[in-house]
Amino acid sequence: MEVSRRAGSLKPSTTLAVTAKARELKAQGVEVVSFAAGEPDFDTPQRVKDALIEALRRGETKYAPVPGDPATRKVIADKLTRENRLPGVTPDHVVISSGGKQSLALLLQALIDPPSPGGAPAEVLLPTPAWVSYAPMTELAQGRVVEIPTIAGADFKVTPAALERAITPNSRVLILNSPGNPTGTMYDESELRAIAGVVARAAATIAPNLVVVSDELYEKIIYAGIPHFSIGSVPEIAERTVTVNGLSKAYAMTGWRIGYLAGSAGFGLKVAKAVATLQSQSTTSIATFELPAIRAALTECAAEVEAMRREYESRAKITYALLKAIPGIVCPRPTGAFYAFPDISCCFGRQSPAGRRIDSAASFAGTLLEEAHVAVVPGEDFGAGGERCVRVTFACSEDEIRKGLGAMDRFIRALR
């Protein structure tokens, strides 16, 4: 008896594996500094927790509508209209899911058809390095990932020319993530408008079914005065863009599992209906008593979100300065999210003090953890362009950043 090929072919998350190994070492009494998990070290704002508790006391424990109740979907629609300038978004365009990950997984299921016999699979254009789950989600939907590699020297951002070369008549989805995981960089308005122009031209010629999926989970964690810009606000492609977001990162609510998506105008309604139908046959709605907490987060917690953003910005500056001081390391300046993605390929072909040979990002990360007790995520699983890099998460204290990156510096300098 065997499990399905679908399940058996998927690779487990490297991020979770590294995090588990770090915890294992800690349980053995080893002092480990972990830069692995992409999880805020702040607590959920008290007003959000109070809203959930009050809902429980009111007895809000019954089934909710699959996409979420109208009042909460209206708050989200109003937020997307006001802050993100998305046109034509109503509560009916919004679907609330169990985390942004579920929103993305169901969205790809709703957009991608299995290939017809003898036909080509739908293509999902993915600028890489990219978050580790986009590719498996695409494969589960029976699409084909088309990687568009980017480089550290260009802040790991896809160029319009590279995107245009990758588009074919089979192109169905372009996934954009800004600010980005694992890169810690983001696109500005002019760059996104240029990408939107490529999409609009392709849709008018060779790829009429091309849809942009804009993952904006880190939109409120941005630095250096760069304003967030939603590509779905560009009129030429507004109706063929679906925006995905959630409360996990900006509101320190990872364990709450709250995500949402919304499109615009007629196609947006079709997408919302399709995703809600898929969700109705899997998880139904999120917990009913979480819905008032969403409303509280989006309408009452701006000050707490800004305080966290300022702290992340301070940590980003420290992280960048310490990484740049390590000989041979190349690292774009983090401008969003709470990650740095340094190129550590200067270490390839060298040996650690204990005699371990380093010939990849994975061997670098494994040796760093074993010998220096610092956990980072190797870049191979983030796709083309990531194999020379590791992800460093600075969602931890300044003391931990200085201690961990100091140990990483000494480790690299000691390589032979």
- Is residue 83 within 8 Å of 320, Cβ to Cβ? no
299: which residues sit within 8 A by CB, 6+ positions away?
Answer: 75
| pLDDT given at position 346 | 96
Domain 46-301: which CATH class?
Answer: alpha beta
Tell me, letter by letter, the H, E, C secondary structure of 252-286: CCHHHCCEEEECCHHHHHHHHHHHHHHHHCCCCCC
| pLDDT given at position 8 | 84
CA geometry: angle 57, 62, 279, nearest 5 deg: 130
Q: How many helices (H) and strands (E) does the chain have?
A: 13, 14
Q: What CA–CA distance (Å, rounded) separates 346 from 241? A: 40
| pLDDT given at position 180 | 97
Q: Which helix (H) or strand (E) holds 211?
A: strand 211-215
| pLDDT given at position 224 | 86
Specify the pTM.
0.95
| pLDDT given at position 176 | 98
Q: What CA–CA distance (Å, rounded) separates 164 from 64? A: 43
| pLDDT given at position 151 | 93
CA distances from 305 to 53, 178, 244, 346, 405 (A): 21, 18, 19, 37, 26
Residues (pLDDT < 50) of the chain are: none
Do the domains 46-301 and 5-43+303-413 match in fold?
A: no
Q: What superfamily does domain 5-43+303-413 belong to in CATH?
A: Aspartate Aminotransferase, domain 1 (3.90.1150.10)
| pLDDT given at position 372 | 96
| pLDDT given at position 324 | 97
**What is the domain partition of the chain in residue ranges?**
5-43+303-413, 46-301
Q: What is the largest CA-CA distance in the chain?
A: 65
CA geometry: angle 7, 67, 228, nearest 5 deg: 85
Cis-peptide into 40, omega within 30 deg: no
Q: What CA–CA distance (Å, rounded) separates 186 from 358? A: 30
Tokens 């909710």 sit at which residue?
64
Tokens 């190797």 sit at which residue?
378
> Identity (one letter) of the amino acid at 360?
S
- Strand boundaries in 73-163, DSSP class E: 94-97, 123-128, 144-149
| pLDDT given at position 18 | 79
Neighbours of 263 (CB within 10 A): 28
